[in-house]
Amino acid sequence: MDAQISVSEQLIMVARILLAGGLGALIGWQREKAHKPAGLRTHILIALGAALFTVISISFTGDPARITAGVVTGIGFLGAGAIMHRARVVEGLTTAASIWVTAAIGIACGTGYYILSAVTALVVFVVLLLHHPDEDKK
């Protein structure tokens, strides 16, 4: 397939990637403020990478499903790395879930679902702000 893409198409791709980075930053900022291992930079990079893979997939194949399916699989490894089991307590599930949903937001941005991705990021942000009573025990 011809890789020649117009400047206007490339600018749309850049806007999608920048939106993904900004929404990933929102989620990552909350994780950073909560002193979680996957913070601002991690979430930005996850959203940027997912969006970039998506726009490239659309550009070269016209079908975002092919490469984004790999993103979904690969992000599971990052999420698994965030989960720890210590003394009968499992930690990191919320961080793993935030990594997973941040990748989905990046994919949504990459496919052009701007409102859907922004609303989802806001809902995730609000959910992450909710207080969990077990956090007082730490």
Strand partners, 89: 86
Residue 84 lies in a domain: yes
Residue 19 lies in a domain: yes
Q: What is the Rg, in whole angstroms, of the alpha carbon atoms belonging to the chain?
A: 16
Residue 2 lies in a domain: no
Residue 1 lies in a domain: no
> What is the residue range of 92's domain?
7-130
Residue 137 lies in a domain: no
The pLDDT tens digits for 19-57 are 999 999 999 999 999 998 899 999 999 999 999 999 999
Q: Label residue 113 exposed, middle or buried (CB < 10 Å: 0-12, 13-18, 19+).
A: middle
The pLDDT tens digits for 67-124 are 888 898 888 888 877 777 677 777 888 999 999 999 999 999 999 999 999 999 999 9
Domains in the chain: how many in total?
1
Residue 97 lies in a domain: yes
0.85 exceeded by pTM: yes
